Copies of this chain bind each other. A is one copy, B any other.
Amino acid sequence: MNFPTSEEAEEAFYSAMRDGDVDGMRSVWAEHDSIACVHPGSEPLLGRVAVMEGWMQILHDGIVPVQPEPLSASVGANLAIHLVNERVLDEGGRLIASVVATNVYELGRDGWRMLLHHGSQTPAAPAVPQQLH
């Protein structure tokens, strides 16, 4: 898989989360050991093996119904940084978690690949339906 822009790599990243697609997730990340991933509230995972094991555990449990909203982006010659608001929804489309993510991509021989993903939960209150009795 070749991603001519960091936006296309990002699209594939969130598609893989939504589809529970481990192979898709594997193809998004750079194929060397300088990659790193921080899941919300967790210790950093460093290197290809640790990062991919982390995603296999998450995607093994099912799909992640995430809706990304770009906040800002800085694209350099060979590195790109995207700041993204991730809205995690339940089956009814209700917000169950809000995560802010820093996504870093690098330009290699095969196009843009993910180098770092750092997500952390924000205090945005989930939309819990209220019943008045």
> Copies per complex?
2
Q: CB-defined interface of A96-133 with B at 8 Å, one 1/0 digit per residue?
A: 00001010101000000001101111111000000000
Q: Is the interface of A mostly helix, strand, loop or mixed?
A: strand
Chain B residue nearest to A115 in the complex (CB): B74
Identify the stretch in A21-29, A34-42, A53-61 within 8 Å (CB) of chain B at 4 or more residues: A34-42
A104 to B81, CA, bound (A): 8
Chain B residues whose CB sits within 8 angstroms of the CB of A74 once the complex forms = 34, 79, 104, 106, 115-116
Interface residues on A, range: 20 to 34
Told that A34-B74, A41-B120, A76-B77 touch, could you supply 8 new A-B pairs with CB distance under 8 A?
Answer: A36-B83, A38-B120, A41-B121, A42-B122, A44-B122, A46-B72, A102-B104, A102-B116
